[in-house]
Structure 1
Amino acid sequence: MLRRLIVIVTAAILFSSSLTLAESKKPKPVDEFPPSPLEITTPDPLLPHLPKDKQPLTLEERQNLEPALDALNQEAAAKLQAGDQVAAFEIWNRELRLRRFLGSLAEVQALSRVAAIAWNQNDSPEVQYITQRLQAIQKQAQSQKTTAQIDLELWRSLGQAYQNVRAVKLAVEAYDQVLLVVRQQKNPTAVVEILKTIGELHLSWFDYRKAAPIYEELLGLATSQGERVNEVTYLQRLAYIYEQTNQPQQSLNVLNKLAEISVNENNLTEIPELKLAIASDYESLAKKDPNLLLEAFKNYQEAYTTAWQLKEYVRAADALQKLIALYRSQGQTDEALQASEILVQIQAQAANFYGMMQAYDQIGQLYLERKEFPQALTAFQKGLELAKQLKHEEAYFTGQIEKVSKANL
């Protein structure tokens, strides 16, 4: 028994020792992030003797290198088209390593081109390598003093390259540098162009808070220059931004300007939608100032009447439905019933039988609230007729009719 125990203990010790030894000899984990292929420094056959002290290439060296790099780009594109993505990016990385010897601008433009391809091919490592290299170039550019023109062109290219790798924050930083320069140059056309780019970047990533001041500035510039088309465009952008950020007062200011422009230009087709949005903003503001409810009612009515005049029955029905909901919230049942009867007519004009059925249901519910059972029964019966035609919600209307009939006994 003792011998057996000794054997078991000895085996356990040996097993434990072997585990310890195995752990000590466990291979080191492979580097999770291998070095970037853009940072390889091995001499290249196209440039066997690297320029010393980072001196620029001579004119002759550039004239020899540029067409060779263009050929590499074409070769890589052919490989990708043939389905060999790995080989294609190996060639492009070689091209990019050599492009840096043609200067920062040439390199950034090439990085931008390849970045767009890498993004479309879902090549995340390549996108990461290019982004890292762009950041290194940006850091270097920030530390160097260059002429305004060269600096401007480089930063524009950096902005575009960052856009191609979807690095929005970095793209905005680059375009901010461009904006600084064009402001100093008092170049209003360039200022507008860059502001629009920055604004669109913020909107593309739903950063409405940062987009707002950009479009406010663009609006001010367009208004001062009398550029009506651009003014309307920026007002529409701001209306959308204020809606998304739940700023009804700012939204109201913008929408009223849009409505004023539409009236002045006799563009009535825009009025119903604008009046609906204006009324909705007044409803929101009325939560703190109930006096503004009158403005909400007024604008819903204007949205309805204008849409009716334009024979835009869907829009008219939408406005009436909003108006009915507002009447009901204020306990104005008579007004809600009158509007609901009109709603039935509008839905009939629009040949919207489902909408008619819902309107009759709404009328029935309003009469039920007033305990006027015969009128409620009539509304639900009309709703059932439409439900049978549509083969939809028949059981619901049948149930409502039974309920009303029992209540009316």
Structure 2
Amino acid sequence: MVLSHLLPTGQWPRRGSQVSLQLFTVSAHALAWLTLGVGLAGLGVKPAVAQAEPQPQSQPQSQRGLPDNPLTLTDPDPLIPEAVWAGEAALTESQRRTLGVALDDLARQAEAALSEGNVTEAFELWNRELRLRRFLGYRAELAALQRVGAIAWEQQQFYQLQVMRERLREIQIQSLDEVETPDLEALLALAQTYETVGARSVALEVYEAVLEVARSRGDEATQELSWQRLGETALQDLDYETAAEAYESLRELARRRGDREEEVRYLTELAYIYDRLTDYEGAIAVKQELIAYYAGFNDTARVTALKIAIGQDLAALERPNEAIAQYQEAYRLSWEALQFYRAQEALTVLGQLYERYQDWEAALQVYQAQIETHEMARNRYGLMMTYDRMGQVHQQQGNYRQALTFFSRALELAQDLGNRQAYFQSHIETVNRALSGMN
């Protein structure tokens, strides 16, 4: 679908040309009634009279076997002057202030009803408020929809959320289309409101629409804000590919303006995202950039943590020699900085890697070094766990006497710590049976 109304006047696409901005292609897991078949309208502010006009449905929901949408304007409301309700006049400034005060009072009454446990009464009051907020303009209505939507989500009022989504769709289609200059703030508010009522997939499409318009205007600030919200929403929706695109774009924007701290923040998000995507190459590249940054501040703790993470990525890529180099460097740096916890961590993953490739001798050497580190750090639990690993390595090689020695040491610590005694006793019994079979 070509969304020509989102393009500046004089830049309509020629017949047969394509515009990349495709909106509201709702994913299969979205609610069926959210499937729109229309593009998002450009957002703009219309005259007050136009805003005040009721929007009757062509086919009432009751005729389709559904209850009437409580947000639909039907019978006149005493808070709205008759001429305004009929679309014959606009609210004066004084009337707008009076209406705003009255609607705020309705909201307070609804909150009081909810606090007393009268959920149905509360949402009836909120729905009346929401029906009338539209007379104060789209931004006021969207703010109210977002506020009440958050409460409906918390209260698990799913029908209420459904009718609010329906109203948001009406705002798109009927009230905010055919404008030459899209209102980006209103678009962003619309997207946030969709998020609040649980329609994240639709919100993502709206943010993409904002990006298209912001790019066409060279509005870098709005681009960054849109990418931020798009990235956060995609992460909440576990859409890591979209999140990766968002944070790569944010990193590039930060890099172009020389904001190194912001760039690092986005790189950190990317490291997490690439891990979730199991894109190990992408994760390694990002983590190396972070290492370069933190090394400049002599932040050994972060550097060693990142080196261990890179080692794990390399191990997943079946590049053990490179992984070993990363673990060894992490151990060296943390040992020199007397950061024994990180040194222990580096030795643990290094020993496990040697075990994975059945280099038992190397694994035992690593665990012996780890014992020394645990002793210096007075980490008795870590010491117990390392004795366990050494016992298991000897057991796998058939060295049962050595295995018995280390399991016995582990059991002594377990008894002192009151932890895992039965586990080590079971191992000792297994090893003793193996020794008996050899005699």
Does the alignment reach a TM-score above 0.5?
Answer: yes
More displaced, 99-108 or 29-38? 29-38
Secondary structure of the corresponding residue to residue 82 of structure 2? coil
1:67 and 1:328 mapped to 2: Cα distance? 71
2:303 to 271, 274, 295: 271
The partner residue of 2:268 within 211, 227, 236 is: 236
Candidates 307, 322, 337, aligned match of 2:364: 337
Residue number in structure 2 paired with 1:36: 69
Conserved 8 A contact 2:76-2:85: no
After superposition, the C-alpha distances for 1:139-181 in whole angstroms (9 at most, x for unaligned) are 1256321544xx2232122122112212112222222333333
- Which residue number in structure 2 is paired with residue 304 of structure 1? 331
Letter in 1 for 2:241: R
Which range moved further: 246-255 or 317-326? 317-326
Task: Give, in whole Å, the separation in 1 of the partners of 2:395 and 2:334.
Answer: 30
Are the aligned partners of 1:56 and 1:103 in contact in 2 as well (CA < 8 Å)? no
8 Å contact kept, 2:395–2:431? no
With over 3 angstroms needed to count, the CA separation of the structure-2 counterparts of 1:32 and 1:317, relative to structure 1, is farther
Shift of 1:56: 5.5
Alignment partner of 1:88 out of 104, 111, 122: 122
Do 1:381 and 1:401's aligned partners in 2 also have CA atoms closer than 8 Å?
Answer: no
Calculate percent identity across the aligned residue pairs.
Answer: 36
User: What's 2:221 paired with?
Assistant: 189
Residue 276 of structure 1 contacts residue 319 of structure 1 at CA under 8 Å; is this kept in 2?
yes
Change in CA separation of 1:351 and 1:407 when aligned onto 2, cut-off 3 Å:
farther
Is this contact kept in 2: 1:383–1:397, CA < 8 A? no
CA distance in 2, matches of 1:97, 1:210: 35
Could you tell me which residue of structure 2 aligns to residue 406 of structure 1? 436
Cα 1:53–1:241 change in 2 (3 A) is same
Distance 1:387 1:123, change over 3 A: closer
Matches within 5 A, 1:14-93: 33-47=66-80, 49=82, 51=84, 54=87, 57-59=90-92, 61-93=95-127
Report if the CA contact (8 A) 2:301-2:342 is conserved: no
Matches within 5 A, 1:298-377: 298-372=325-399, 375-377=402-404
Structure 1 residue 90 displacement after superposition: 1.6
- Give the RMSD, CA atoms, in angstroms: 2.7
CA distance in 2: counterparts of 1:72 and 1:384, whole angstroms? 67
**Structure 1 SS opposite 2:71:** helix
**Corresponding residue for residue 288 of structure 2:** 256
1:106-117 residue pairs with structure 2 within 5 A? 106-117=140-151
Higher alpha-carbon deviation: 33-42 or 176-185: 176-185
Structure 1 residue 201 displacement after superposition: 0.5
| SS, match of residue 344 in structure 1 | helix
Corresponding residue for 1:7? Answer: none
The more displaced of 344-353 and 222-231 is 344-353
Deviates most, 375-384 or 155-164: 375-384
Compare relative contact order (CA 8 Å, sep 6+) and give the higher one, 1 or 2: 2
C-alpha deviation, 1:383, in angstroms: 3.0
Aligned mate of 1:172, from 204, 213, 226:
204
Give the counterpart letter for 2:265 in structure 1. Answer: T
> What amino acid is the match of 2:376?
Q
CA deviation string 1:110-159 (max 9, x = no partner): 222222222233222222111110111011256321544xx223212212
Paired residues in the alignment total 374
Letter in 2 for 1:277: A
The structure richer in helix per residue is 1
- Which structure is larger by alpha-carbon Rg, 1 or 2? 1
Shift in Å, 1:100: 2.1
How far off its partner does 1:347 sit? 2.5
Letter aligned with residue 57 of structure 1: A
Q: Secondary structure at the match of 2:99?
A: helix
